[in-house]
Chains A and B, each alone.
Chain A
Amino acid sequence: ELKVEQNPLFLSMQEGKNYTIYCNYSTTSDRLYWYRQDPGKSLESLFVLLSNGAVKQEGRLMASLDTKARLSTLHITAAVHDLSATYFCAVLLVPGGGADGLTFGKGTHLIIQP
């Protein structure tokens, strides 16, 4: 059974600081996804990481994937209040298996304080 573990599950940080969210998964997969969820809202796709060593950046967020370590990171640079949300990583079990569902981590609830 695929397990996806995120840490921390809760993070309170100040604006301007840097921090990293970690996502470990238990079986081989080369497709990892990061989603953002605002309270009561849907899931917004942030990054799709498709291969070992993949790194993607969008604004103050940068995601990376190490398939050998089965680890992805989401790095926040110089955090701003608007980034407050819950961040989920999710793993597709079968590479290229379009019909397979995603297995999600529990999410990291991020609060950025002025």
Chain B
Amino acid sequence: EPEVTQTPSHQVTQMGQEVILRCVPISNHLYFYWYRQILGQKVEFLVSFYNNEISEKSEIFDDQFSVERPDGSNFTLKIRSTKLEDSAMYFCASTPGTGNTEAFFGQGTRLTVV
């Protein structure tokens, strides 16, 4: 069964460093998303991406964050100058689009900023 895959599963980084989280969405899906979940809290939408550009973004997704799809398969989230409060589980998701909006989530990357 097709699935969304994310790497790495766990990333530890020092405060102020840049990190790149990687995702391979399901191959025929058109829309891609990043969400985050701070430990024990709800899942929060960060950004959606369609047709090689950002479609929607939340207030959380400020200039510290960027996304790109560099090679047609990977979908990346870059966090510049990480802060302690960026520690969270980051989930990538994709949907087929064209009327089917069921989101399929990857297994997540646990980011720990120390």
Residues of A with Cβ closer than 8 Å to B? 31, 33, 35, 41-45, 48, 88, 90, 92, 96-107
Contacts A42-B105, A99-B48, A99-B56 known; A104 to B30 CB distance under 8 Å? no
Contacts of A106 in B (CB 8 A): 41-42
B45, CB-defined interface residue at 8 Å = yes
B91 engages A43 (CB within 8 Å): yes
Question: Which residues of A lie under 8 Å from residue B49 when comparing CB positions?
Answer: 99
Q: Which residues of B contact A90 (CB under 8 A)?
A: 43
Is the CB of B33 closer than 8 A to any CB of chain A?
yes
Contact between chains at B33 and A88 (CB < 8 Å): no
Enumerate chain A residues within 8 angstroms of B41, measured Cβ to Cβ.
106
Is B98 among interface residues, defined by CB-CB distance under 8 A? Answer: yes
Complex interface: chain A residues within 8 A of B45 (CB):
101-104
Cα(A33)–Cα(B103), bound, Å: 9
Among residues of A, the one whose C-beta sits closest to the C-beta of B29 is A98
Contact A42 B107 (CB under 8 A): yes
Contact of A92 among B55, B101, B104, B105 (CB under 8 A): B101
A42-B108 in contact (CB<8A): yes
Q: B42 touching A88 by the CB < 8 A rule?
A: yes
Q: When the two chains form their complex, are residues B55 and A99 in contact, meaning their CB atoms are under 8 A apart?
A: yes
Contacts of B30 in A (CB 8 A): 98
B107 A104 Cβ-Cβ under 8 A: no
Q: How far is the CB of A51 from chain B (nearest CB, A)?
A: 13
Q: Which of B56, B99, B107 contacts A41 (CB 8 A)?
A: B107
Query: In whole angstroms, how far apart are the Cα atoms of A101 and B9 in the complex?
Result: 23
Please provide the chain B residues from 84 to 109 with a CB less than 8 Å away from any CB of chain A in the complex. Answer: 91, 95, 97-108
Contacts of A105 in B (CB 8 A): 42
Query: Which A residues are CB-close (under 8 A) to B102?
Result: 33, 45, 48
